[in-house]
Amino acid sequence: MNVRVVYQSATGNTKKVAQAIARAAGCEAEPVSTATVSEPVEMLFLGASIHAGDVDPSVKKFIEGLDPILVKHVTVFGTGFEGSKDKAIGITKDLLARRGIAVNGKYYFCLGRFVLFNRHHPDFQDLAGAEEFVRSVLTG
Ligand SMILES: Cc1cc2nc3c(=O)[nH]c(=O)nc-3n(C[C@H](O)[C@H](O)[C@H](O)COP(=O)(O)O)c2cc1C
């Protein structure tokens, strides 16, 4: 199965999760700023978090540039505050659905450090959870 992992991360939290996901999926984690999809992808894991109340413009631009014929399914992941989960996941899922891209109902979200909050997250358990999540997605 052709799997890709693409993420946006301002302070490294989502990058750590992306790297755990990529490890479990057997591929590299690619920053959204340089990733392009020009070959068919069966599962694209896309990581985005909330900054200033929204997902980063680079994520929106990446989704806008996706070809729904090449991208079969997307699974969304993110990090942040428990209270920002619905926004981080929901906005990204919604943008993908508007492009006519099939979005997995399952997603992965864990706490992400912000200044003094959620210290040490994502932690070892968060990353192990991400790897386990990938295995459950890829084995159906
Ligand atoms: C500059 C900045 C702005 C943020 N703005 C918000 C916000 O508006 N709402 C929110 O819930 N979290 C906000 N956060 C918290 C991040 O969503 C959280 O720390 C997330 O894990 C960051 O992921 P990253 O390190 O991959 O960028 C902000 C974090 C940063 C660094």
Please give the CATH topology (third level) of the domain spanning 3-138: Rossmann fold (3.40.50)
> Average pLDDT of each block of 10 consecutive residues along the chain (140 residues)?
96 98 98 97 97 96 98 98 95 98 98 96 98 95
pLDDT at 140: 76
* Beta carbon of 12 within 6 Å of any ligand 1 atom: yes
How confident is the model at residue 65, as a pLDDT? Answer: 97
pLDDT on residue 116: 94
- Spatial CB neighbours of 106, under 8 Å, sequence gap ≥ 6: 75, 133, 136, 137
Backbone φ, ψ for residue 73 (5° rounding)? -145, 150
Task: Ligand 1, residue 111: give the atom nearest the CA.
Answer: 21
User: Residue 88 has what pLDDT?
Assistant: 95
Whole-number pLDDT of residue 1: 84
Mutation to probe ligand 1, out of 7, 8, 50, 117 (largest number of atoms < 8 A from CB):
50
The reply to whether ligand 1 has any atom less than 6 angstroms from the CB of 84 is yes
Report the alpha-carbon distance of residue 120 to residue 68 in Å, rounded: 37
Pocket test for ligand 1, best of 11, 77, 87 (most atoms within 8 A of CB): 11
What confidence score (pLDDT) does residue 55 get?
97
Q: Is the CB of 1 under 6 A from ligand 1?
A: no
Angle value at C-alpha 98, between 97 and 100, nearest 5 degrees:
65
What's the CA gap between 63 and 92, in Å, rounded?
A: 9
